[in-house]
Amino acid sequence: MKEKGVIVIGIGNPNFKDDGVGLRVVEELEKKGIKDTVKYLNIDLKVIDSMRGYKKAIIVDAMKTGAEPGTIVEFNGRTTWKNVYASGTHSMSIFEVIRIGYEVFPEEMPDEVKIIGIEGEEVLSLGMELTPSVEKVIPEVVEKILNEMQEHSGKIG
């Protein structure tokens, strides 16, 4: 049932400074011709529908783990991390949504779900601009995703 390759899901609210970084990463990927992308303002069950049928999902979001702002943190999406706060504007934990997806649609969910979190400096402050520490890592995250896509399918796009 998994016929599609890799989907990239950007999550965040561009009105809360660094919380919008997931959306910005996806926008940069789209500029490079990547078509299997989706952007959401918050996390809820619609994320499951986006992943169904794909072999791999990469989710990009701002995180608050206590690391230095701009730090890139990677998680296995099938693991529950109780001490990770996935920014302040989301209605559900991404880890809970993924768990529900595997319970309800075990055959349709991706074989692999990777979460790429970018440590935010300001995720609750109003503003459309990312902080410099978060803005500067966008190219690195985009390159990381492109490399993952190429390793997975042998091609980009």
Within the chain, how many helices (H) and strands (E) appear? Answer: 5, 5
| Other beta carbons less than 10 A from residue 81's beta carbon | 18
The strand order across the sheet containing 37-40 reads 37-40, 4-11, 54-63, 112-119, 72-76
Structural domains present in the chain: 4-153 (3.40.50.1450)
Name which of 39-48, 56-65, 69-78, 132-141 the model is least confident about: 69-78
Tell me the average pLDDT of the chain: 87
DSSP character for 130?
P
Residue 138 contacts residue 21 (beta carbons within 8 Å): yes
pLDDT tens-digit profile of 56-104?
999 999 998 889 999 998 887 766 544 454 444 446 788 888 888 999 9
The predicted pLDDT at position 87 comes to: 47
User: pTM value?
Assistant: 0.88
